[in-house]
Each structure stands twice: as C-alpha cells, then as structure tokens.
A and B are shown apart, each in its own frame.
Chain A
Amino acid sequence: NAGVMQNPRHLVRRRGQEARLRCSPMKGHSHVYWYRQLPEEGLKFMVYLQKENIIDESGMPKERFSAEFPKEGPSILRIQQVVRGDSAAYFCASSPVVDWDWVRRYNEQFFGPGTRLTVL
C-alpha cells in the first residue's frame, strides 16, 4: 500500500507566478489535510478536506490560497501570485473515514514527504 504521495517534491517559482501542489492520499483514505512549515518552525494547519468538500479552512490565508479535493484525482493546493514569504515546505496528510457515531474517535494522519516551494 503506497503512502501519501506529493508532487512535485521541489518547486521553484518567481514572484507573481502560480504554484500548484498535488497530494494523493493513501488508498482508502478520504480525508486530506494540508500543513505549512516555515523555516525553523513547526507545522501549521492550513485546511482539511473531504472528497469535494472543504471541512475546515481556518488556517488558510484569506487571499491567494485555495484548496480542492475533487471526486477523482489528487488534492490540489493552489497559491496564486506567489511572494517570497510563501517559501516553505507544504505537507499533506491523509486519514481514513471517521465514524462519527463514536464521540472523538481518533483518526491517525499519515504524512507525505512534502513539497518544498522556493519563491525567487
């Protein structure tokens, strides 16, 4: 069973360009999470998606950032008009279906290797 896959692993963009980061969850996982890791910092939650739905985007910057997880294909994190401050490692995690009949069922997140975005 392949793990979480992210591509590209490294992405270089000039200021003002668009960046598209892709995440393929583990087989059978329908929940995807995106995190951003700035240099010398921990990971910060950005967005949580299920197939075709954004569940929690409380960590997403209000402008230029968007995420989707279509019915078919990978989850996409899109950054428009990138700026130098967007340079970071972006990690995707996935988890299997949560049974919400149980209160606070823990759902382990499996992380991908990350995409390292450099904005010149």
Chain B
Amino acid sequence: AQSVTQLGSHVSVSEGALVLLRCNYSSSVPPYLFWYVQYPNQGLQLLLKYTSAATLVKGINGFEAEFKKSETSFHLTKPSAHMSDAAEYFCAVSVGEKLTFGTGTRLTIIP
C-alpha cells in the first residue's frame, strides 16, 4: 500500500520569499507522484507530476519539485512567492489507477 505525508498543515511565507512544501511518500513499487493546488471552493488543478523520467520536474506557475528516491521525498518549491499562490496544496501518489492524497498544506502569503 502507498501513503503520503505532508509535513506542516500550515505554511506562511513573505511575498517574494522561497516557498518549500514538504512531501514524503511510501510505496512498495516505483511511484508516480503529483502536486495539486486547490483554491477556495474550487476543484484540484495539477501543478506537476513525476512519472519516472527526469527527477527534477517543472510545473505551472513557476513551481518545481525534485524526486529523491533515497529520501522518499517529493518536495515542492518556488523561488519567489506571489500573493496569488495562497491556496491549499496536496501531494499525491499513484500506484495503479487511484490517487492517494496527503492531508494538504495551506499556504499563506504575507504581504
């Protein structure tokens, strides 16, 4: 069985500062990994995905994530936070057809 752990249910960063959202996974087989963003009262939008190609994955809105097998991690980063990045972020793992999500990290941007 696979699982995802997101460290920090709430993260606050200043506008222009580095964004780092942490995700660790557990999987018995090589996983596919994803980051989704959810804005208030909306559905989930895919930010980026890792599917066993390059370990550094670039996504939309300036986000990227690095797959580190030795650390079983897939942390999400953005060099400079914008106010529009305020949202809930979910890490997810897929083995087979269904996605298993973490509990989410709410990102707040401080002006």
Binding site for B on A (CB under 8 A): 4, 31, 33, 35, 40-45, 48, 55-56, 59, 91, 93, 98, 106-114, 116
Contacts and interface: CB of A to CB of B under 8 A. Distances in A.
B49 A114 contact: no
Contacts, number: 53
B43 A113 contact: yes
Interface of B: 32, 36, 41-46, 49, 51, 90, 92, 94, 97-104
Contacts of A111: 36, 43-45
Among B45, B46, B98, B103, residue most surrounded by chain A Cβ atoms (within 10 Å):
B98
A114 B38 CA distance: 11
Nearest to A113: B43
Contacts of B51: 106
12 contacts: A31-B97, A35-B101, A45-B98, A45-B99, A45-B100, A55-B97, A93-B99, A107-B97, A108-B49, A111-B36, A113-B43, A114-B42
